[in-house]
Amino acid sequence: MKKPDDKPSEELENVFEEEEENICQACGGPLKLEKVNLEEFEGGKLYLMENVAAYVCESCGEMWVPEPVLKEFEKMMDTAKRHKTQSPKKKRT
């Protein structure tokens, strides 16, 4: 099993190349590219996406996740919800 390293994947780094400002919009502190975990608790279920590249403010800790990553997380949650609501067909014996 491949162990994740401390740097974001090259694919995710490309998402961040478009970002021009590396300044926190909340406090004005510097932003650093790090891996974080996204968590959402909804309907009694915990949805988790680990090791996601995001900007984190070195001063206040505010986290900035790019829109494509958030959309992928929402897509994952929707897929999990649809899978749960589809009841398997019962086999008759």
Domain ranges of the chain: 10-85
Separation CA 26–CA 77 (nearest Å): 28
Topology (CATH level 3) of domain 10-85: Ubiquitin-like (UB roll) (3.10.20)
How far is Cα 26 from Cα 61, in angstroms, rounded to an integer? 10
Whether the pTM exceeds 0.85: the reply is no
Classify 41 as helix, strand or coil. Answer: strand
Integer Cα distance of 38 and 53 in angstroms: 10
66 SS3 class: coil
pLDDT digits (tens, 9 = 90+) for 14-64: 555 555 578 999 999 999 999 999 999 998 899 999 999 999 999 999 999
